[in-house]
């Protein structure tokens, strides 16, 4: 069986996913076959594997760090929140139903087999498996139902690296408190500590690392500086709360993205944020749409609930008024469904019992929710037309779809398709655009990953706003960014000690 090393954290969002990805790339660079693993996660930011399985987006990034195609074995259990106390359960890449938080806790023992099987399979195939924990292992109220932190470490007899985030403050207390709350055998598995996201002069930390080592008996294996020059997909929606924002320049093209309570796959818009001269802002109120040159309704885990949330805040009428004035509007996945005439969900599959809802009426389509979930990677070819599609005819790209609803034209309407998609067969019509071409809907995540698609759409947005066409930022490479991450960690972690933990 292959070796393992596990990255756990003092809390959620302390940087476990990024540290794990960097270790994956380092081990790969050093000649080992390596794979990532996370037993269970809760997130709506998901990705579709080549065989149509659904996993957490961070494991897909870590697979890229290993230069592997992602697989469901890397994330056997995924919970996708639909409401405050209810989540869709994705087991081994497939949706198997929805459970309340209480129901889920009773079902966790049944999920352990999938976690152990996935980990065993990876260990049998790769030299080393980099395991990521979830949240904190010190949540003692969840210990009995743990299937992703110390239970995994004990099962694999894996050394654990414990990560604390100094940027949020209290890292000494967080590291010490986490260790104090662990059981003795769990504490023994923690072989080193990492202080993450440090800003400033390293010398001002003294004597903190020494104090931590003396108090805990665990070595501090590195202080990892905060970075801004490595462009990686964010781990989860909490990143939208903590991101640093700048003011738009006068000549920027302003893209306003509605930040739904259950927003999903917001990394669709990373390419826009990397495009020079484009200012992206996530908004949760009508005032945030003021001055936008393009409005985007992103994906959401619960279309009806988030559409009602829009109405409560007056965002619905603001979007409609903006579209009527000629401001371009794009809807992706759940956002596409909202742009139609109606959403029909008599069985409550969207997370709202027996819910159906009138849409924004900006596209002549309607969505009906069905129990079969579509999860597939696709290739697409853009259609041409007026407005946002001007000059886009024949432009190709690749992406993926994750949705339960089926969207079709309303009776008597025949809207133009946004693009044609292929999934192992012939091209099929997909998406819709209104008669003027300025309101566009699609199910394809990753639409903006293609530089030529970005150039066409942003060029048409700029033209409608009387601005110059934007550059596309085509030189971005995730592989290059992961190499930068590996270099960053090599410079700041004691890799010799880490290698020694699993006999390398």
Taking the C-alpha atoms of residue 349 and residue 367, their distance in angstroms, rounded to an integer, is: 12
Cβ–Cβ < 8 Å for 163, 194 = yes
CA distance 55 to 369: 22
Place of tokens 């023994």: 188
**Closest residue by Cα to residue 360 from 330, 340, 375, 337:** 340
Distance CA 270, CA 445 (A): 12
Q: Which residues of 232-247 are buried (b: 16+ CB within 10 A; e: fewer)?
A: bbbbbbeeeeeeeeee
Distance CA 266, CA 257 (A): 9
* Number of other CB atoms surrounding residue 377 within 10 Å: 18
Beta-carbon count within 10 A of 503 CB? 6
Residue 87: which residues within 8 A CB-CB, separation 6 or more? 42, 79, 80, 81, 98, 99, 101, 104
| Residues in the chain, overall count | 504
The CB-side HSE value for 134 (13 A sphere, CA atoms) comes to 23
Q: How far apart are CA 239 and CA 209, in angstroms?
A: 27
- DSSP 8-state class, residue 416: B
CA distance 261 to 282: 12
- Residues with catalytic roles: 333, 445
Distance CA 316, CA 296 (A): 12
Integer Rg of the chain from CA: 23
First-last CA distance in the chain: 15
Q: Which helix (H) or strand (E) holds 163?
A: strand 160-165
State how far the Cα of 142 lies from the Cα of 377, in Å rounded to an integer. Answer: 35
Burial class of residue 228 in the structure, from the number of CB atoms within 10 Å of its CB (0-12 exposed, 13-18 middle, 19+ buried): exposed
Q: Taking the mean position of all CA atoms in its chain, how far away is CA 418? A: 24
Which residue, 373, 374, 303, 371, is CA-closest to 340? 303
The tokens 């003027």 sit on which residue?
Answer: 436
d(CA 298, CA 45): 12
- DSSP secondary structure string, 244-263? ---PPPTTPEEEEEE--TTE
């Amino acid at each position: 069986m292959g070796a393992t090393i596990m990255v756990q954290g003092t809390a959620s969002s302390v940087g476990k996913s990024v540290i794990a990805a960097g270790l994956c790339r380092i081990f790969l660079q050093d000649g080992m076959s390596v794979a990532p693993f996370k037993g269970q996660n809760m997130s709506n930011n998901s990705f579709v594997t080549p065989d149509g399985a659904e996993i957490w987006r961070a494991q897909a990034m870590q697979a890229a760090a290993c230069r592997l195609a992602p697989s469901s074995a890397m994330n056997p259990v995924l919970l996708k929140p639909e409401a405050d106390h209810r989540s869709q359960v994705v087991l081994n890449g497939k949706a198997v139903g929805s459970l309340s938080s209480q129901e889920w806790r009773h079902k966790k023992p049944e999920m352990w087999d999938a976690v152990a099987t996935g980990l065993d399979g990876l260990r049998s195939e790769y030299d080393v498996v980099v395991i990521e924990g979830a949240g904190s292992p010190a949540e003692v109220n969840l210990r009995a139902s743990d299937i992703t932190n110390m239970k995994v470490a004990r099962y694999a007899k894996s050394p654990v690296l414990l990560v604390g985030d100094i940027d949020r403050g209290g890292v000494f207390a967080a590291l010490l408190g986490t260790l104090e709350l662990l059981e003795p055998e769990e504490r023994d598995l923690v072989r080193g500590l990492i202080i993450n996201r440090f800003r400033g002069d390293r010398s001002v930390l003294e004597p903190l690392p020494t104090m931590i080592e003396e108090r805990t008996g665990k070595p501090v294996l590195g202080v990892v500086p905060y970075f801004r020059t490595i462009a990686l997909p964010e781990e989860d929606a909490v990143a939208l709360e903590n991101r640093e924002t700048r003011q738009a320049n006068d000549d920027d093209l302003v893209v306003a993205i509605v930040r739904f309570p259950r927003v999903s796959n917001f990394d669709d818009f990373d390419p826009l944020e990397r495009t020079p001269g484009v200012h992206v802002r996530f908004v949760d109120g009508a005032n945030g749409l003021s001055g936008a040159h393009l409005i985007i309704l992103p994906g959401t885990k619960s279309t009806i609930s988030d559409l009602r949330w829009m109405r409560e805040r007056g965002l619905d009428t603001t979007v409609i008024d903006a579209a009527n004035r000629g401001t371009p509007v794009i809807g992706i996945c759940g956002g596409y469904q909202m742009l139609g005439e109606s959403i029909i969900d008599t069985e409550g599959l969207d997370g709202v019992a027996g819910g159906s809802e009138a849409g924004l009426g900006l596209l002549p389509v309607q969505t009906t929710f069905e129990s079969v979930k579509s999860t597939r990677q696709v290739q697409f070819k853009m259609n041409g037309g007026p407005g946002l599609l001007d000059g886009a005819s024949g432009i190709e790209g690749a992406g993926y779809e994750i949705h339960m609803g089926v969207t079709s034209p309303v009776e008597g309407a025949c809207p133009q398709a946004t693009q044609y998609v292929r999934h192992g067969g012939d091209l099929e019509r997909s998406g819709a655009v209104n008669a003027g071409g300025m309101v566009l809907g699609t199910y394809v995540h990753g639409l903006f990953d293609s530089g030529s698609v970005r150039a066409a759409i942003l060029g048409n947005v700029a033209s409608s706003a009387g601005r110059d066409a934007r550059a596309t930022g085509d030189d971005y490479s995730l592989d290059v960014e992961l190499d930068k991450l590996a270099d960053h960690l090599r410079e700041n972690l004691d890799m010799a000690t880490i290698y020694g933990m699993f006999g390398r």
